[in-house]
Every structure is written in structure tokens, then in C-alpha cells.
Amino acid sequence: MRQSTLFGRTLREAPADAQTPGTKLMLRAAIARPLASGLYTWLPLGFRVARKVEQIIREEQDRIGAQEIRIPVITPAEYWKETGRWDTLEPVTFRTKDHGGHEYMIGYTHEELVMHHARNEILSYRQLPVIVYHFQEKGRDEARPRAGLLRVREFVMKDAYSIGRDWDELDKQYWAEHRAYAKSFARMDLEAVSVESDTGNMGGDVAHEFQVLIEVGEDRIIFCSNCDYRANMEKATRRIEAGAPTNKVPKPSEVATPNTTSIEALQTLLGQPAPAFLKTLLMRDAAGNVVAIVLPGDRELNEPKLRKVLATSEVKFANNADFAAAGAVPGYIGPVGLRARLLVDASVDGRSYIAGANKRDAHLRDVVNGRDFTGERVDVHDVRDGDACPKCGGKIMIKRGVEVGNIFKFGPYYADKMNGTYLAEDGTRKPLMFGSYGIGIGRAVQTIIETHHDDKGIIWPIAVAPFQVHVIALAGKEPEINTAADKLVAELEAAGLEVLYDDRDETAGVKFADADLIGIPFRLTISKRTVKEDGVELKPRGAAEAEIVPRAQVVERVAAHVRRALQ
Amino acid sequence: MRQSTLFGRTLREAPADAQTPGTKLMLRAAIARPLASGLYTWLPLGFRVARKVEQIIREEQDRIGAQEIRIPVITPAEYWKETGRWDTLEPVTFRTKDHGGHEYMIGYTHEELVMHHARNEILSYRQLPVIVYHFQEKGRDEARPRAGLLRVREFVMKDAYSIGRDWDELDKQYWAEHRAYAKSFARMDLEAVSVESDTGNMGGDVAHEFQVLIEVGEDRIIFCSNCDYRANMEKATRRIEAGAPTNKVPKPSEVATPNTTSIEALQTLLGQPAPAFLKTLLMRDAAGNVVAIVLPGDRELNEPKLRKVLATSEVKFANNADFAAAGAVPGYIGPVGLRARLLVDASVDGRSYIAGANKRDAHLRDVVNGRDFTGERVDVHDVRDGDACPKCGGKIMIKRGVEVGNIFKFGPYYADKMNGTYLAEDGTRKPLMFGSYGIGIGRAVQTIIETHHDDKGIIWPIAVAPFQVHVIALAGKEPEINTAADKLVAELEAAGLEVLYDDRDETAGVKFADADLIGIPFRLTISKRTVKEDGVELKPRGAAEAEIVPRAQVVERVAAHVRRALQ
């Protein structure tokens, strides 16, 4: 490929709004270009990377016997309505109607569609187990697209769906996909760790995420510094030690707290640390039901955990009318005497706390859980650095990560909602046991850039590089240099190598800067000097120094490198 | 691939609404399944075919130096508004809004998006010429999806876009794509002829369609029986001989025609043939402008030609108010004295005609064009069987065809509307000269089925077959037959062949019927009998007879066949 007519020009400067180092390089190197917020076009260099990532994933799916299909982007409402996701996914999806008034969703994911086909195609246990997958555009109306291709509104996902006869078969399929994912990420040179995660709006209850731990990630992952425990923030728990004894705590008594509505202000006023207080949050779920959550003053509410407890798609703060109905006052709400469904977080122990008195400018001292109030026991708090590991009691650490893949074990969840059954060997009808498995191509590519670059540009792993060799001709006014470069390119291509050939009429400075920016693994430079020495200058992208390799050896030398890397 | 767990079951009977022989087989062989009207999911067998078709097209695009990119499905309204197609495409497109109220179209095609990227990426003549292409879903809200994958509402199109410096460069790109298309269809074993066509709502004015001539096609293609003239019905013209002399025709005189409002009824009443009459049609364009079209009584209006003359997206019949304003009466309209813009079709010659009198129950005899009425001369009639070829005067024939590809030479049309310019060598800014080139994958696959089948099923060309070899194990109760079949499959796969392995517990009858239906090129059967003879039964799908081939030779024999076919 001649660089002179490569579509997509490199940029000296990244747009001012590029948020991460990798986003800057992605845009500068002409990997992709935005069309609108969160909508990107792959340019030729980037698309070559995307295709290689896709092919790696395809090979690993095929290796576990998965079968490739392709479901439309435009998906009829009727299937989504069977599971109720037509409504719950509304806030994050794109909808359309045809001119006859029928409703469609631009596929957010494709569970319902696969289950629909499965219930029609699979009649008998003899057709199972099966895994199908496709690469298809997904539409997600993200409120805040960010960081280039990390969070966008349309992207190609490889989504696989496993269908098994029973939990055992599903379990085997789930772990086969887990292994295929680990292998796929390793081949792209992404260090992805799998962590337990929440199933969110997907249904079901066992799931893992594959996380690449980098600062630009928006997920928080919990690790034990002692054992192998790890989990997504939305799923993580901790070991909670028994609190101080509650003997002889006096009855609650009021303390005046004028204009003191936050835990911080209370700490200053009463000279007590945050854990001495109770924080009571009045919330509404998607259906408008009101619930109060009680947490220690130093703990944060984990909304995904709460949504899961409430089986709702959304929680928000209660309004003034809700406060009035509960007999509470904003800023002074507390669990004692509150007229609301009460959820007590597991972090609240048996000690005495200071809590809101449900009247203006007053709190109560000596409030004890189980004595002065009772509620449903739940785990809805954020785990934090230094907490005790739920498995071993070791210290917990938190790291930032990018979720590059996720896998879900649903069991009969979708089959039950969509009447997806098969005739079992014993003559009864049983539910199709379901799992789903997703990887976003663009996010994987952006994560590779975030983890493979230096100040000058991208450093592509050979397996996903847009080209393997970058030939730079420094011809100046001498056409014989171009002739020598043409010949080198032809030999490299004949050896099966993918070559980008910088044939432009530009200075060495511009060409080398672009080569570093684009980040192709091997740079070969031909100039008057190298031709005189009957050599070619070879510089691997990551290396500090270049060397002159004899012309007769250079093709085989690079080819051998590439072969080894792709093994 | 083991057939026992192949996703997608074959059907004994096609659904009652399957319209063409190929549609019946496509559905019965589990190539694709409908999700809704005009929305199909590729099942594994069909997707393998689609991927091979895609790869053939990709290779031929790459061979002419085209660069693969990928533009989103969700396309922002702003770009479509620059060319005015946001409005004109409304009736045939799917629209969506994000939760911020921004408008998008599910890409009907992608010219505007490519031109947008091109004007940003291409600064100088030194970056030209360039061709980019992508494979991407298109959404088209067809009122009448039909014939399986022939006309659907979502499909993957390979759309390529050429950008050149001037007409000469565009012309070279256009014919390079024409050659790439011819080669692509030949590799799929589709006999596609290229015919001149109308550019319709795409803009520009030079275009060709690639048509496969089969009865199930919905396009009508004009061929000369004598020379190489051919054209789409929407573009075809004919040689029109001068009419009879008009000497001494008396002045028009009224003839009573009570309750006689059609050409057929007039023929009966007045005893004259259809060509003796004039047919006058009062129409409205998309903007509401009214126009009258005058045709001989035996000629049909060609709406696409008329839309092009009027530069409108839609024409429909005028209403009663339009008739009143024109001073006409429905059923008795004629050109004499009519108060409307008058278009006179080229088929109307200088002879005297009978035409409506613009009053109830009356017509005029002896009406002569140019004497009794005058109008703009246009060509808006349908060419028909037996007409004279416009090139040589030979007899024209009409055949039905399926349009499997189309190519458009736009020139500066899009650049002018979207301010797409580059800095030319002479220092001036010039328009990016544009062309576009489309092939629908699904329609190509369906057309291959329509042209490659017999009563029993599909007969895939080797280059696009889902698998190359179908191994049928007739094991009955004898496990050693399965062992022999396993070994044969392993050897075939080691030789690089793609094998579907019928390992199911079914009768020979069921297995052979499915094999004929699915249509894989080579069927190899292993049974007790063949094992005893140390042979394998080989039957090419199209052949009448099977033969026993020695076991030691069969793998190489089939491999050699396949190699030859793919050369």
C-alpha cells in the first residue's frame, strides 16, 4: 500500500477534547474519525487493525465449535417485549418505526433474537449443545461517550450465545468461552483479568468481566492483596467484623444540630468521626416505590447493588412529598420512627450511632440497630481500599480498568420469559439453558493503543498491526532510491509481509515522525547512504536504535521476526 | 462441522408465502430465517456463503487498489441535509433520534458520509486518486419486500466510492470498478450483464446496472436482437420513424363519445386502433406542480423517465381541483386548449389523432401536434418488445432481470453540494470528482440460488458453497462405520477441504434428501457396503450417478476438483 494515496491524514496535534493519551494517538494516526458524538468511522489503517482483532476472536470462537451467524441491526419490538426489555432498555437505546408504524430497536444486544431463533430451530436434545455468534453493530445511546473508541454509541460487538441442555452443559460452555476470551485477549497482547461482575440489565446472575487495568478505565476493580479474590465494584463484598458490644447503651436522646445537614458538618459540630453516624437515604425506584437505605456515615451507596436488590432499572433520590409521607425532613432523616420500607446495609453493626431525628435541627444519640429500628439486611455499600477480603480477610486494593469483554450465565432466565424449550431425552420439555458473551471490537483496539504507545506514537503488537513493515524511501531528487524501494517492497510482499510504503515527497523528519506515530512494528529505511552500503536501515518500533542490515538478508530477517510473533 | 449440532434445521415444506423457487429452497435449506417482513438472520450455512461472496468482492476491490473502511449505520442528519436527501429519502428510510433530540438516518447508502470524510482528509491533488469501500448494513423501508433475500429492508452492501481529480480520472476509476464487478460476479458464477441505467435518487447522470436475466427479476431490461444495445427500462429509448404526412388534415371536429373514458372503450366505439388516439395524463410532482403528458393511445408512461424530466422524487395523478384549473374533465382530457404545462412524448408524431375535447362525452377528431397544440418534446414512454433499437434499428427484446450491482458516475454533483474541494496542481480549488458502486450481499446469494438449483435443492458453485464436501455416514447400528467416517473427515480437513459431516442418527433417505437440498458440491457416502469394498461413494451434486472411488484415492480426487474450481 502506497502511503501517498492512503485515505486519512495524520495530524500534528490532537483535537483539544481528546481525553486520554490513546485517544490523542488514535485520532492523530488516522485510525478512526468522529462523525458525531460517539459515532466513528474506521479509516483504512484502523480498519485493518479492527479486522485482525475480529479475525483473532473468530478463530478462537471457531476453535470451541461456535457457529457464525448474522442477525439484523434493526430488531422488531415484539421480541424485546417478551422479556420486558423493550421498556427497561428505552433510556439507552435508539428506536425507529417503519412507515407502517411497526416499532424497532437498533440492537442494543441480541439475546432475544437468538432465543427466538433457537426456540424455532432446536426441537430436540439431539441438536444440543450449540454456540452461535455474530459480529454486528450495536446501538447504545450513551449519555456520555468518552475517550475515543472506549465508550461510543455504535460499535461492532462479537456476541456469542450458548445453548445447553442443563446447568452442567451451560457451565462447560461458559468456561469454554472464558478460555476463548482469555486466549483472544492474549493474542492481541491485552493483559485482561477476569473478575466477577453484576449482570445489570442483562438478566441472570453469574457473570464475569475481562478487565484491562489502566488508569483511563472507568471501572473500579477490587483485588485482594493476599488471595485470588477479585470483583467488579458492583459485585464486590468485604468481610465485616462484628462491631462493639451494645450493652448498656442508654435510650436515644435528642441533640440539637441547627443547620447541620451533612455528615461532614456533623463531625465538626459534635467532634465525632464519620463512622459514628448513620446516613439514611430516601430513594425511589423506576416504578416510583420509595425505600430508605441506612449506611454508616463513612460508607457510600453502591447504586448497581441497590438496583439489583430492588430489581429495578433505575433509582433516584426521593422528592419532598416522599419525605413528608415518610415523616422525615431532608437533612435530618433517620431510621427511628421512619414510615418507609427500611433497608439496613450490612456495614451497620450493633454499636450505638448518631442518626437524624426526623425533625429540623435535631439528631438522636445512642441509636442501636435492632433495638431502636429494624429493617431488611442488605449489602449495598461500596467496598474501598483497605477493606478486608471476603475470602481471606486480606487487604483489598482498588484499581481502574477497562472492561474489554463480558460473559453471562443466564440459565433458564430467557427461556422462561420466551417459552424457549426443547424436547429432552426423557420426553419432557425443558428450558434452553442460555449464556451470552460479548467483546467490543473498537474498545479492544482503543485499549491496545492505551497500553501500547510512547510519547511519539502507537507501538502496535505484530498480531494486530495495520501493516507489519513500514518502508520509508528517502529519495530526495534521486529516482534510483525509489526504484530500490519499489524492489524492496515487492520482495517483502512476495514473502507474505504486509507493507506500508512511504513513497511521499516529504522530508525525512516528516516521514519518521509519521512512522513513529502510526507505529508499524518494523521500519525499513532506504536512502542514498544505505544503498551505497548495500544495506537497509532496520528499526523495530519499540527499539531505541536502528541498525543497517545487509540488503540480501533484510527480507528474511523481518519475515522470521513476524513468523515468530504470529506463532 | 458436525451436522448433528448445526444451528438451523432443514424444512420438508417451504412456507406458503415463499414467492420464488429460490426463496423456497433458501428457507428450506436453512440459509436464512425471517425476523420480520424484509428482515432476515443468516443461519450458519447461509452465513458461510455470504462470507465467501463478501471475500470475492473484497479481493476484487483490493486488486484495483480500493481501501476498506467502515462507516456507522447510524448517520447524522446534518450531512444528508447538505445534499437535500434528508427530505427526498424520507419515504424509504428508517429514522431515529437520540435522547438529546438529534436526528439520524439508518444509512440508506453512504455518499454524504464519504464526501464528508473526503473533504476533511484530502487536502491536495497529491493524495488522489483514491477509492474507499466498506461492507455495511443498509436500512431501506421498502413498501413491498419480496422473494426472500432479493428485496429486503436491511442488508449488507459493499459500497465503494471513488474520488478523482477530474473527469478523466473518474472515468478510469469507473471502468476499473466496472471490471472489478464483472470479475466478482463471474467468480460467483453469476452471468451478469451491464446495462445503462437511471441514477434515480442518487444524483449524477451516468450509471450502469449489472443484471442477471431471470424470470423472477422485477426489472425489465431492453436488448437489441441485432447489436449490443441494452438498457434498463427506465433509461431505454427507441428509434422513432417519422409518422404519416400531415397534409390536408381538416380542422379538429367534435365527435360524441358518451360514457367513453378509456382508450379501450374508444376503440370499440369508433372502430379505430389504439395508436389513432392521444392519451393525456394530468400529473402532480412532489412540489405540487401540475403537468400534462401527451402519449399515443398505445404507449405507457414510464414514471422514472418522467420524474427525471421533472427533477422530482415523486409523481402522482392530479386531483379534481387540478382538472378544473386546467379546464379539463377526467376521462375527456385532451391537449387542445388545455391550461397546463404540456409535455409531448416523442412517440407522438405528425399524424392526425383523436383526443379528448376537455368536455364531458366528447372527443376531437383530426388533432395534429404542432398545429392544434404545442408542448415540450420529451421521452417519457416505455419501450416495448419489437420496438426499433435506437442504435441500429434492429428489433428490441425485453427480458426480466435481477439487479445485482450498480455503479454511478456522479462527477462534481456531491462535491458541489457539500463543498468538497481539493487544492489542484495549478493552485486552484477543484471539486472532488465522485463515483459510487454498490453490491448487495444477500441479493447476490439469493440470485445464485435462483440460478443454481434443481427440483431437489440448491447446487452451489464451489467458490461460494457453504462447505465443499458433504460426508454422509450411514452407520446404522455399526459404530465402525462412524469411526471410518471420522477418519475420512479428518483426512479431508487435513487436505484443506471444508467438510460438513452428517453424523446424525437418521435414515439414508433423510440424509440424502437433506444433502440434495443443501447442495454441497461433493457428496461422499460411507456405509457398510463401501467399507467392505474399501471405497467411498462419490456423487457431485449436479451429477446423475454416483460412483465408488477407492478409499486411498478419494481425498486427493476431491481436493484436485476443488483446487481446479477455485483457480
Considering only CB atoms, A47 lies closest to which of B43, B69, B153, namely B69
Give Cα separations from B410 to A468, A537, B77, B93, B407 (angstroms): 36, 45, 22, 22, 10
Helices (H), A273-355: 303-310, 320-326
CB contact under 8 A, B6 and A69: no
Asked if residue A20 has pLDDT above 60, the reply is: yes
Contact residues, chain B, for A122 at CB < 8 Å: 7, 9
Residue A245 banded pLDDT, cuts 50, 70, 90 = low
Hey, which residues does A434 pair with through a beta bridge?
Answer: A163, A411
Kindly report, residue by residue over A375-428, the tens digit of the pLDDT: 999 999 999 999 999 999 999 999 999 999 999 999 998 999 999 999 999 999
Interface of A with B in 368-387 (CB under 8 A): none
Kindly report, residue by residue over A92-128, the tens digit of the pLDDT: 999 999 999 999 999 999 999 999 999 999 999 999 9
CA–CA min distance B423, chain A (Å): 15
Instruction: Give the pLDDT of residue B311.
Output: 81
Asked if residue B552 has pLDDT above 70, the reply is: yes
- Grouping H, G, I as helix, E, B as strand and the rest as coil, residue A216 is coil
Instruction: Give the pLDDT of residue A479.
Output: 85
Neighbours of B268 (CB within 10 A): 10
C-alpha cell at B515: 444433502
Count how many pairs of residues, chain A against chain B, have C-beta atoms within 8 Å. 184
Contacts of A247 (CB under 8 A, 6+ apart): none
Closest CA to B438 of B125, B153, B108: B108
Kindly report, residue by residue over B91-122, the tens digit of the pLDDT: 999 999 999 999 999 999 999 999 999 999 99
Instruction: Give the pLDDT of residue B219.
Output: 87
CB contact under 8 A, A47 and B33: no
| Best residue in A1, A28, A39 for a mutation probing chain B (most B CBs within 10 Å) | A39
Interface of B with A in 489-548 (CB under 8 A): 504-505
Closest CA to A188 of A210, A164, A219, A215: A210
Beta strands in A327-428 (DSSP E): 341-345, 352-356, 362-368, 376-378, 396-411, 421-423
Considering only CB atoms, A9 lies closest to which of B74, B121, B139, namely B121
- Grouping H, G, I as helix, E, B as strand and the rest as coil, residue B93 is coil
CB contact under 8 A, A44 and B95: no
Residue B286 banded pLDDT, cuts 50, 70, 90 = confident
Q: Percent of chain A, pLDDT > 90?
A: 83
Give Cα separations from B361 to A481, B372, B415 (angstroms): 88, 20, 54
CB contact under 8 A, B70 and A50: yes
Asked if residue A200 has pLDDT above 90, the reply is: no
Considering only CB atoms, B70 lies closest to which of A47, A75, A79, namely A47
Kindly report, residue by residue over A257-289, the tens digit of the pLDDT: 999 999 999 999 999 999 999 999 999 988 889
Contact residues, chain A, for B78 at CB < 8 Å: 36
**B20 DSSP 8-state letter:** S
Write phi, then psi, for B249 (nearest 5 degrees): -80, 130
Residue A401 identity (one-letter amino acid): G
Considering only CB atoms, B69 lies closest to which of A42, A78, A121, namely A42
Instruction: Give the pLDDT of residue A467.
Output: 98
CA–CA min distance A154, chain B (Å): 7
Contact residues, chain A, for B68 at CB < 8 Å: 44, 47-48, 51
Average pLDDT over every residue of A476-481: 84
Instruction: Give the pLDDT of residue A202.
Output: 54
Considering only CB atoms, A68 lies closest to which of B9, B36, B44, namely B44
The string of DSSP codes covering A169-212 is HHHHHHHHHHHHHHHHHHHTT--EEEEE---GGG-SSEEEEEEE
β-strand A352-356 against A362-368: which pairing, if any? antiparallel
Say if CB B277 and CB B353 are below 8 A apart: yes
Contact residues, chain A, for B154 at CB < 8 Å: 72-74
Considering only CB atoms, A113 lies closest to which of B35, B78, B126, namely B35
CB contact under 8 A, B74 and A94: yes
Contact residues, chain A, for B47 at CB < 8 Å: 68-70, 134
Asked if residue B10 has pLDDT above 70, the reply is: yes
CA–CA min distance A51, chain B (Å): 10
- Grouping H, G, I as helix, E, B as strand and the rest as coil, residue B555 is helix
Interface of A with B in 147-176 (CB under 8 A): 153-154, 156
Greatest Cα-to-Cα distance within chain B, rounded to the nearest angstrom: 97
| Best residue in B4, B42, B79, B98 for a mutation probing chain A (most A CBs within 10 Å) | B98
Interface of B with A in 271-310 (CB under 8 A): none
CB contact under 8 A, B74 and A41: no
Average pLDDT over every residue of B269-292: 93
Say if CB A142 and CB A162 are below 8 A apart: no
Considering only CB atoms, B39 lies closest to which of A35, A72, A123, namely A72
Contacts of B230 (CB under 8 A, 6+ apart): B193, B195, B196, B221, B222, B223, B224
Instruction: Give the pLDDT of residue B308.
Output: 85
- Grouping H, G, I as helix, E, B as strand and the rest as coil, residue A319 is coil
Instruction: Give the pLDDT of residue B199.
Output: 64
Closest CA to B357 of B330, B397, B319, B390: B330
The DSSP element (H or E) to which B179 belongs, if any, is helix B167-187
CA–CA min distance B79, chain A (Å): 9
Residue B197 banded pLDDT, cuts 50, 70, 90 = confident
**Could you tell me if B4 lies within 8 Å of chain A, comparing CB atoms?**
yes
Kindly report, residue by residue over B406-439, the tens digit of the pLDDT: 999 999 989 999 999 999 999 999 999 999 999 9
Write phi, then psi, for B161 (nearest 5 degrees): -135, 125
**A297 DSSP 8-state letter:** T
Asked if residue B196 has pLDDT above 90, the reply is: no
Q: Is A150 exposed, middle or buried (0-12, 13-18, 19+ CB in 10 A)?
A: buried
A152: nearest CA partner in chain B: B72
Taking each helix axis from N to C end, the angle separating B44-63 and B441-451, rounded to the nearest 10 degrees, works out to 110
Give Cα separations from A209 to A197, A235, B294 (angstroms): 6, 11, 70
Interface of A with B in 100-139 (CB under 8 A): 102, 104, 106, 113, 116-118, 120-123, 126-130, 132, 134, 137, 139
A136: nearest CA partner in chain B: B137
**Dihedral (CA of B198, B199, B204, B210) sign:** negative
β-strand B67-68 against B130-139: which pairing, if any? parallel
Average pLDDT over every residue of A529-537: 93
Average pLDDT, chain B: 93
CB contact under 8 A, A68 and B91: no
CB contact under 8 A, B132 and A44: yes
Closest CA to B52 of B379, B462, B544: B462
Give Cα separations from A11 to A34, A267, A514, B105, B427 (angstroms): 14, 53, 9, 30, 23
Taking each helix axis from N to C end, the angle separating A21-28 and A441-451, rounded to the nearest 10 degrees, works out to 110
CB contact under 8 A, A4 and B35: no
C-alpha cell at B417: 453540494
Considering only CB atoms, B95 lies closest to which of A96, A134, A143, namely A96
Interface of B with A in 79-98 (CB under 8 A): 79, 91, 94-98
Contacts of B362 (CB under 8 A, 6+ apart): B254, B255, B256, B257, B332, B356
Q: Percent of chain B, pLDDT > 70?
A: 98
Residue B41 to residue A117: CA distance in whole angstroms:
9
CA–CA min distance B27, chain A (Å): 12
Buried b (16+ CB within 10 A) or exposed e, A486-525: bebbebbeebebbbbbbbbebeeeebbbbbbbbbbbbbbb
A30: nearest CA partner in chain B: B121
Instruction: Give the pLDDT of residue B126.
Output: 94
What is the Rg, in whole angstroms, of the alpha carbon atoms belonging to chain B? Answer: 29
Instruction: Give the pLDDT of residue B520.
Output: 98
CB contact under 8 A, B9 and A121: yes
Residue B535 banded pLDDT, cuts 50, 70, 90 = very high
Say if CB B98 and CB B76 are below 8 A apart: no
B96: nearest CA partner in chain A: A96
CB contact under 8 A, B4 and A43: no
ipTM (interface predicted TM): 0.88
Residue A139 banded pLDDT, cuts 50, 70, 90 = very high
Say if CB A5 and CB B128 are below 8 A apart: yes
Residue B451 to residue B446: CA distance in whole angstroms:
9
**Could you tell me if B33 lies within 8 Å of chain A, comparing CB atoms?**
yes
Residue B315 to residue B296: CA distance in whole angstroms:
20
Residue A282 to residue A370: CA distance in whole angstroms:
20
**Dihedral (CA of A549, A550, A556, A559) sign:** positive
**A432 DSSP 8-state letter:** P
**Could you tell me if A428 lies within 8 Å of chain B, comparing CB atoms?**
no
| Best residue in B6, B41, B165, B504 for a mutation probing chain A (most A CBs within 10 Å) | B41
CA–CA min distance B425, chain A (Å): 14
Q: Residue A480's Cα: distance from chain center in Å? A: 51
Contact residues, chain A, for B104 at CB < 8 Å: 36, 94
